[in-house]
Structure 1
């Protein structure tokens, strides 16, 4: 036991935060990898005119992630965040390899790949729910925005990594190119598994299970001030005590009880809007978007995803710099307004100037990506990680993740169908209107969480629930 204790004490806070957020690499790689693989897959399996099938192959991961997020949220409340992240890494490794070795059986090949990518999505959805919850429970309140933003940096780094891999493999024979692109996703999953083996469990989960000694030990790795450790333990214990005294048994209906409804609606709503705003239409289909705008082959446009990936990584670093300097709501509203205009203006310009340069839309998409990268992209997961009370955090985070993936799945599925039947400018204008609706939602329904402890945020929700209960007409 002493040897194990000494080994655990050597775990640095940097190691914990790095591998605690590394699950975002899996999320990001799989978002990005199909961008480059799809043109080769279409050519290899002759799917150029099969918009619905292409949509399903692309969006199958997101469909599986809808259920993976909800399932992981429930299981993590029972088994812990760490164990479920390990399980997600294993599932991701297995189905990444199976994607890369898809048999060539004509049309049946497409259905095989769709099923395998749905199962892979279980792991992607689990990671998207577990990583924010784990990071928020490990990070101190004053640095939670910045440290939780590591998740977004990992996501966009995974996307950029997949874009670079796609570009490097593009000159291989078509069949080998897309197979390697998909199969190499197993490598970051293996790295995640090996890193998480050494991670400690969340102190809040440990306290909830009654292991105060281990919770204190974990906090000692990531909090330098003993008084801060005592204060945080006391705060978490008080919240847990109130829950036990109420003898509360959480269920799905609990999420929408008066006490929690306000915070659940806010967190789930932000998670849903992030995807319905259309960002993944760009990330999944940018080579095809450029092809439709310019007439150049999609397989020759794989530099554009790298440009988008670089913008995303820079934006994530900008966010980490400004994360705890500006209110969450302010960043979301400013970002959403610019994103909406970036989608709507090309349609307006094209209406006024029918001979508009077709690359104008790509320039506006870059502006959209830039503002998305340091506002809605990271802040969604920061809010999901910090806005839900301890008693419902696993379920609520899973629900938010599922709604996020529902939006991602629908965007991935219907975008190629929409662009096959209407001008691209009109499609993006629809997403622009959704961006503006997201701004209105944040202004009216989302509380400010910057600088508040998780327990203070819960108290805000409790008080709001009491006000709503006493004034139902409000």
Structure 2
């Protein structure tokens, strides 16, 4: 035991936070990798006119994510955050390799790849749920905001990494290019697995299992002040007690009681709007978008995803700088308005000037990505983490996450089908209208959470419920 403790004490807090958030790399890589792989896959399997199959292959991961996050949350309460992250890394490695070695059997191959990517999505969903939970339980309260930003930076860095890998492999023979792009996702999964092997379990999980001595030992790795450790242990115990009491008194119907309905609609609505605004249409299909706009082969347009990835990484850093300087609602409304105009203006310009430079739409998409990267992308999860009272937090957060993943899956699925049946300027204009509706929703339905305690936010919901109850016609 003493030898183990000495070995564990060599783990630095920087190492813990880095590999604790490294799961975001996996999530980001798999969001982005199909962007470059899809043009080669389409050509290799002759899927150029199979819009629905292309949509399913691309969005299959997100379909799996819908279930992976919920499943991992349940299992991590039983087996621990660390063990489930390790298991997710193994599943990710296995199904990444199986994606890369997909058999070439005509249309049957497409169905094989769809199923494999759905199973891969279970690991992606688990990582996306477990990593923020682990980080929040390991980080000191004063650093949780910055470390939340670190997780977002890891995700977009994973996307950028996948775009760079796609670009470097684009000159290989078509069949080898897409297979390696998908298969190499196993490499960051292996790095995550090896890193997490050295990570300790979270103190909160250890306390739930009654191992206070080990929980205290873990806290000594990441806290310097013994008094702070004692205070945090007491706080974790009290919070766990409150959560047990809250969970025993609530059900799904509680979410829609007059006291909480306002806050649930606000949090779930923001999570849903984030995806239905169409961001993933750009992240998944930018080479095909450029191909349709310019006539150039999609496989020769793999520099554009790198541009988008760089914008996303810069935007995540900008968010970390401005996060606590502006109100959440202000950033969401400004970001949503610019995003909406970035989608709608190309359709208007194309209608007024039919000979518009086809690259105009790509320039506007870059503007969209820039504003999305430091507003709706990170702030959605900040707001969801702040807006739900303790009594309903678990169920409401899960509901918000489910709506978000469903939106991500549907956008990835229907975008190629929509662009096959109408001009893509019109498709983006539809997403632009959804962005504007999101702005209206934030203005009318979402409370400000910056600078407010959870109790103050809950009081807003209670007051709104009283007003609705006394004025039922409203």
Could you tell me the TM-score, scaled by structure 1's length? 0.91
Cα separation, partners in 2 of 1:127 and 1:391, compared to 1, 3 Å: farther
Give the superposition deviation at 1:249. Answer: 6.1
Q: Distance in 1 between matches of 2:201 and 2:286?
A: 39
What is the CA distance between 1:446 and its match in structure 2? 3.4
The answer to which of 282-291 and 17-26 deviates more is 17-26
Q: 1:382 to 1:217 in 2, by over 3 A?
A: farther
Shift of the 243–160 alpha-carbon distance from structure 1 to 2, 3 Å rule, reads closer
Q: How far has the Cα of 1:144 moved from its partner?
A: 2.2
User: Bigger shift: 359-368 or 312-321?
Assistant: 312-321
Residue of structure 2 equivalent to 1:50: 50
**Offset of 1:262 from its aligned partner?**
4.6
Q: Is the 8 A contact 1:70 1:395 kept in 2?
A: no
Deviation at 1:354, TM superposition (A): 2.1
Question: Which residues of 2 match residues 193-212 of structure 1 at below 5 A?
Answer: 193-212=193-212
Structure 2: gaps spanning 5 or more residues: none
Q: Structure 1 residues 392, 21: CA separation in 2 closer, same or farther (over 3 Å shift)? A: farther
Measured after TM superposition, the shift of residue 448 of structure 1 is 3.8
Judge conservation of contact 2:333–2:442 (CA < 8 Å) in 1.
Answer: yes
Q: What secondary structure does 1:247 align onto?
A: helix
Does the 8 Å contact 2:96/2:183 carry over to 1?
A: yes
Distance 1:258 1:122, change over 3 A: farther
| Cα distance change on mapping 1:187 and 1:41 into 2, 3 Å | same
- Size of the alignment, in residue pairs? 474
* Worse-superposed segment, 89-98 or 217-226: 217-226
More divergent stretch after superposition (317-326 vs 134-143):
134-143
**C-alpha displacement of 1:163:** 0.7
Q: CA deviation at 1:439?
A: 2.1
Could you say what secondary structure the match of 1:224 adopts?
coil
Aligned-partner SS, 2:248 = coil
List per-residue Cα deviations over 1:207-229 (Å, max 9, x = no partner): 44444444444344334444544
SS of structure 1 residue aligned to 2:247 = coil
Q: Which range moves more in the overlay, 96-105 or 86-95?
A: 86-95
Deviation, structure 1 residue 33? 0.6
How many angstroms apart in 2 are the aligned matches of 1:222 and 1:383? 26
Instruction: Verify the 8 A CA contact 1:70 1:399 in the aligned structure 2.
Output: no
SS of equivalent to 2:324:
coil
Contact 2:246–2:391 (CA under 8 A) maintained in structure 1: no
Q: 2-side partners of 1:236 and 1:224: how far apart?
A: 17
In the superposition, relative to structure 1, how do residues 59 and 106 fare at CA in structure 2: closer, same or farther (>3 Å)? same
Residue 469 of structure 1 deviates from its aligned partner by: 7.6
In the TM superposition, residue 146 of structure 1 has moved relative to its aligned partner by 1.7
Instruction: Note if contact 2:332-2:375 (Cα within 8 Å) is conserved in structure 1.
Output: yes
Q: Is the 8 A contact 2:333 2:439 kept in 1?
A: yes
Distance 2:328 2:363 in 1: 27
Change (3 A) 1:208 1:115: same
Asked if 2 retains the 8 angstrom alpha-carbon contact of 1:128 and 1:401, the reply is no
Q: CA deviation at 1:241?
A: 3.0
Of the structure 1 ranges 249-258 and 212-221, higher mean CA displacement relative to structure 2 is found in 249-258
By relative contact order (CA 8 Å, sep 6+), the higher-ranking structure is: 1
CA distance in 1, matches of 2:283, 2:431: 14
CA-to-partner distance for each residue in 1:43-73, whole Å, 9 max, x for gaps?
A: 1000111111111111111111111122222
CA contact (8 A) 1:133 1:386 kept: no
Query: Is 2:392 the counterpart of 1:410?
Result: no
Change (3 A) 1:208 1:330: farther
- TM-superposition CA deviations, 1:119-149 (whole Å, max 9, x none): 1111111222222223233333443222101
Which residue of 1 is the match for residue 373 of structure 2?
Answer: 373
Partners of 1:142 and 1:7 lie apart in 2 by 28
Kept after mapping to 2: 8 A contact 1:132/1:381: no
Q: CA RMSD in A?
A: 2.8
Residues 392 and 247 (structure 1), Cα distance of their counterparts in 2 relative to 1, 3 Å cut: closer
Moved more, 120-129 or 7-16: 7-16
Q: CA deviation at 1:322?
A: 1.9
1:279-318: CA deviation from partner (whole Å, max 9, x where unpaired): 0100111011001111111111011111111111111111
More off after superposition, 327-336 vs 21-30 = 327-336
253-262 vs 71-80, which deviates more? Answer: 253-262
Contact 1:239–1:455 (CA under 8 A) maintained in structure 2: no
Q: CA distance change for structure 1 residues 169 and 245 in 2, over 3 Å: closer, same or farther?
A: closer
Q: 1:19 to 1:388 in 2, by over 3 A?
A: farther
